[in-house]
Structure 1
Amino acid sequence: MTYAIIGFGEIGQTLARAFARRGIDISVATTRDPESFASAAAAIGPGITPKTLAEAAEADIIFLAVRFQSHSDVAKVLPSWQGKIIVDVTNAYGVPDEELGGQPSAKVVGEAFAGGRLVKGFNHLVAAVLDQDPVAHGGRRVVFLTSDDEAAAEEIGALADQLGFAPINLGGLSEGGLLVQAQGNSWGRLIFKDLVQFD
């Protein structure tokens, strides 16, 4: 299984550190030349490899850590995302409902990535919290996942577990998924909730 993060801002780098902590190799990409962020990637760890957008898109599992408004540009990199899992880490706060056609933002992202299997996740915590050791207070920090593809959600749940987090599946994007999605100028009820699960 190969992994990539598209977007190497605060959240992208935070996710890269989560992979580095567990010694899991991952590619990172932006719209810029990989050389321009190679030193930042090297500072995180040897398994963090800067690549072009097209190269990163070859991965099996792709974390989309760009601004919501940029997701459609990334989606154009491939004509089809068939068989790939896209983990939508974006937040559409401030995007008018009309622009989303009344749908949850993750559904809009899913439609852009034709053929891809979309899982919304790792988006409800601010970078500073997500960056902390997921083992906290004698338990594991919760990450919420939501998808209309149960098998894809299970796969990302297993990966979250491997990264040290406690994954909680909220079900479909139009049901539990609304708890972790911004609608216009309001946040879902579980956004920013830093919870710990005790095994």
Structure 2
Amino acid sequence: MNIGIIGAGALGSNIARAFANAGIPAVISNSRGPESLAGLIKELGPTIKAGTTEEAAKADIVIVAVRWVDVKRVLGELPAWNGRIVVDGTNAVEWIAPDSPDAKDPTNPLAAYGIKAVDLGGRHSSSLVREIVRGARFVKAFNHVDASVLAESETAGGQRVLFYSGDDADAKTTVRSLLEKAGFFGVDLGALDIGGPLASLPFGPLGGASFIKI
């Protein structure tokens, strides 16, 4: 199976680094076009290629690694998914400018980290993304830890644990195999409506949890 990564910020680029370290080929894209990724591609080596968002979205497994504010626009412009696997690595948070009123909001416990949670009206983020990518086999993964640690799947003498969840058993098996090939230890949290909220940042009980399988 081939792999596409939509988004080349901290999340997408560090997933690509983990894949490159394991020799897993992938196509990575961003909003500015393949030429803007020349430096990253040079760093990662021959297994990671730059492409357009449309090219990355044609892969058998498509990892969504864009900012929450861009999810609907980016994914809504893509053609039908036709049963391909979409892995949602997003979280419903927005970055706030240091000089904005939001940065000094005493009711926002995340202001010190430069982010705020998006009010989803009681829903969890992946239930919304799932609706945008109708026709895809949907799995939630890569979202519960700081993106910076994803570049190293093996650390402290063991494998970094990554949670995943979804409603399609075959898709989850495929994603777990990909995680293991990249050196991670995958833990299945069950159905999307159970595992998604558990592992979502910023307020999921397992959000931010960094476990190592020794």
Which whole-Å CA distance do the structure 1 matches of 2:154 and 2:30 have between them?
A: 30
The residue number in structure 2 matching 1:5 is 5
The answer to whether the 8 A contact 1:57-1:77 is kept is: no
Conservation of the 8 A alpha-carbon contact between 2:12 and 2:65 = yes
Query: Aligned equivalents of 2:137 and 2:30: distance in 1?
Result: 21
8 Å contact from structure 2 (residues 164, 195) kept in 1:
no
Equivalences, count: 191
Gaps of 5+ in 2: 94-116
Please list, as runs of the form range in 1=range in 2, the aligned pairs for 1:120-159 lying within 5 A after superposition: 120-132=140-152, 134-159=153-178
SS where residue 175 of structure 1 aligns? helix
On the 8 A contact 2:140/2:166 being kept in 1, the answer is yes
Q: What are the Cα deviations for residues 140-162 of structure 1, in whole angstroms up to 9, with x where unaligned?
A: 11000011222211110011000
- Structure (1 or 2) with the larger CA radius of gyration: 2
Partner of 1:193: 209
The TM-score with structure 1 as length reference comes to 0.90
Output one character per residue of 1:64-98: Cα deviation in whole Å (capped at 9) or x when no partner. 00011211122223331112111101011311123
Note the aligned Cα RMSD (angstroms): 1.4
Q: Which moved further from structure 2: 186-195 or 106-115? A: 186-195
For the residue of structure 1 that corresponds to 2:192, the secondary structure is coil
Q: In percent, how many aligned pairs have the same letter?
A: 40
CA distance in 2, matches of 1:77, 1:48: 24
AA of the residue aligned to 1:8: A
Q: Is the 8 A contact 1:79 1:114 kept in 2?
A: no
1:162 to 173, 176, 181: 181
- Gap runs ≥5 in structure 1: none
2:193 counterpart SS class: coil
Match of 1:57 in 2: 57
TM-score by length of 2: 0.84
